[in-house]
Structure 1
Amino acid sequence: MTALSQDTGLAEAEIRGAFDELAALALLKPSDECGGKLRPVSPEVGLATLLASAEADVAARQARVETIRAEIAAIAAEHHSTQLFDSATRLQGLDAVRARLEELQRTTEFECLSLNPGGAHRPDARSAATPLNEQALDRGVTIRAVCRESFRNDPDTLAYAHWLTEHGSQMRTLPTVPIQMIIIDRRTALLPLDPADPRAGALEVQSPGIISALCALFEQCWSAGTVFGEQPETDRNGCTPIERTLLAMVASGDTDESAARKLGVSLRTVRRMMSNLMERLEAASRFQAGVNATRRGWL
């Protein structure tokens, strides 16, 4: 080391540092012939070893990147299976819907809006909703509901409606309601996956544009509805809302059976109403009733 220092003019510490760097680069190795001494290694061999080590490190990093990429793809695929589009989640089955409604209603801040096209309110649904509605009303949440007029034909549902309105809810009725829908705080809405089968599940929507359109639909139904507890007003032709709706159905080709299903009343009720309307319109047939109603401005 002293001789090298004299030959190179470098301090011994600098020489030791250079040896350490050369060893790290695999350009110096222990001599097999001279114990305790080092031998130089060809740069092609030494640096090739270093390059191989670097390539192995890069390969390991790349493998880790590919593993992470696969994990992200798996998560995205799982997420996509429950996400139908931006801010919409599929709730499969009635239990999933009720569980989500419980979560939403417990955290409702100021408003719950609903459209209810069905007739009688199922006892199990009433028992599940009653405590949640009571808690929400106690918190000052506004509850507004639009229901189909025919729900009045079920005594238990009618009693539940009285309970709701007596505790501060607001309710209005229409002859027909377009779709089942619940909107929470104008931020989240639940819509049926299959309108013909409410027990199939629901779609939870949070897209602002869709929520805005659903709120507009609700307000349109609300403004056209009759306040619960009041008699529906007749128009200038003496027609009630349900009579006008029945005439519109007849004019569009609905049968008595189809109209009865949509209105949620018996076939006998529809035929009695239709007979009364035909007499007032001086019509001998359903078709003529539709024509006369249009001519007289009833539709």
Structure 2
Amino acid sequence: MDESRSPSELLPPELSPAAVNVYRRALEEGEFRFEDAVAVSGLPRDQVAECRDALVASQLLQPSSESPGTLVPVNPELAIARLAEPIESTIRSYRQAMESTRERLLLLMPAYLGRTASGSASGGLEIITEAAEVQLLVNHAVDTCSKEWLSVQPGGARDPIALQQALPRDLEAVHRGVRVRSLYQHTTRTQLSIRSYVSAMAEAGAQIRTADQLAERMFIFDRELAFIPRRSQPGQPPGAVVVREPVLISFLCTLFDQFWANAMPFITDGPGYQNVSSELRVALLGLLAQGLKDEVVAKRLGMSVRTCRRHIASIMQELGAESRFEAGVKAAQLGLLTSSELE
């Protein structure tokens, strides 16, 4: 078989309604009879011949072992199996070739990680400057991790298309036994697309929680590989630091566990904000008490500035405060900066 051919080239053409009717006629008669097919269908002889050839290519007609020269109809399931075998063989070949290539190239990792050239880091750290390259490496890590995948994803709304594209890959990780724990911010609970994503992941066995505030984005795979943002100054181009150093990996895992312990389970069949509203209000009051600008507060809580200002206005009205800072101070004086006071 020519493995350079694409999967579409290995498949037969789509069957026309006329070919389907010819197949049904063959089922009724127990064999394909050319003259009968012409007479019953009313089709030109060349078109009946095309239908026959399409059915043979689809493995739905095959030569009879008992009567040479006679074509008999085949069970569609058997036809599917025969068509799939060369494609599955090609896939196996590609996987074996890719695994062999991966093993050969990974032999060079110690040399690559030990380099000290400008723009790189040694000691189990690697700097990736291109966002597309980072995404490619993260996707590969999701595909190859075998034990655990931890993620911290701050911010509010998520791209629905990106979520839909990621779901099959993420579910595959759960199905092969990877323990998946993900952290989002409370504000994601109102987004229908992420609730749908979380529902599918949770049903498969993933654990997902939300918190009022989270640190930077972080992914940890099998407690051996981590991705953290490459951001040493504002406005820096996107990128990531790839971490393989065991001590630093252990620190990041401990940090994740602290966030996880203080987060709340994301229950998709429950309310959106309602079961986290007290914690969200406490966090907002605490940030107001620090005198932070609306834009900073909104970013910390993963919500839009407009939504943030609406919450602030409601709180100011409740407290009878004339400024945001005064609202935060009054909340502190009244002992409202603990969630128990707001429940």
Asked if the contact 1:188/1:211 (under 8 Å) is kept, the reply is yes
Larger radius of gyration: 1
SS of the residue corresponding to residue 240 of structure 1 reads helix
Asked if the contact 2:113/2:122 (under 8 Å) is kept, the reply is no
Asked if the contact 1:83/1:90 (under 8 Å) is kept, the reply is yes
Structure 2 CA distance, aligned partners of 1:227 and 1:111? Answer: 18
1:134 aligns with 2:171: yes
Identity %: 32
Q: Which amino acid aligns with 2:121?
A: L
Structure 1 CA distance, aligned partners of 2:237 and 2:162? Answer: 11
Match of 1:183 in 2: 220
**Quick one: structure 1 residues 98 and 294, their matched pair in 2 at CA, closer, same or farther if it must change by over 3 Å?**
same
Asked if the contact 1:233/1:241 (under 8 Å) is kept, the reply is no
SS of the residue corresponding to residue 90 of structure 1 reads strand
Structure 2 CA distance, aligned partners of 1:106 and 1:285? Answer: 50
- Please report how far the alpha carbon of residue 227 of structure 1 lies from its aligned counterpart in structure 2 after TM superposition: 0.8
Match of 1:101 in 2: 138
Structure 2 CA distance, aligned partners of 1:233 and 1:154? Answer: 14
- Please report how far the alpha carbon of residue 101 of structure 1 lies from its aligned counterpart in structure 2 after TM superposition: 1.6
Question: Which of 177, 187, 191 is the matching residue for 1:154?
Answer: 191
Match of 1:30 in 2: none
- Please report how far the alpha carbon of residue 206 of structure 1 lies from its aligned counterpart in structure 2 after TM superposition: 1.3
Structure 1 CA distance, aligned partners of 2:129 and 2:306? Answer: 37
Match of 1:276 in 2: 314
Match of 1:12 in 2: none
Unaligned runs of 5+ in 1: 1-73
SS of the residue corresponding to residue 122 of structure 2 reads coil
Q: Which amino acid aligns with 1:211?
A: I
Unaligned runs of 5+ in 2: 1-110, 338-343
1:1-299 matched pairs, under 5 angstroms: 80-81=117-118, 83-123=120-160, 125-194=162-231, 200-229=238-267, 240-299=278-337
Number of residues of Structure 1 aligned to a counterpart in Structure 2: 223
Structure 2 CA distance, aligned partners of 1:127 and 1:254? Answer: 36
Q: What is the TM-score normalised by the length of structure 2?
A: 0.57
Q: What is the TM-score normalised by the length of structure 1?
A: 0.65
**Quick one: structure 1 residues 96 and 197, their matched pair in 2 at CA, closer, same or farther if it must change by over 3 Å?**
farther
Asked if the contact 2:156/2:302 (under 8 Å) is kept, the reply is yes
Asked if the contact 2:230/2:238 (under 8 Å) is kept, the reply is yes
- Please report how far the alpha carbon of residue 128 of structure 1 lies from its aligned counterpart in structure 2 after TM superposition: 4.7
Q: Which amino acid aligns with 2:143?
A: R
Aligned residues: CA RMSD:
3.0
Structure 2 CA distance, aligned partners of 1:96 and 1:159? Answer: 28
- Please report how far the alpha carbon of residue 167 of structure 1 lies from its aligned counterpart in structure 2 after TM superposition: 1.8
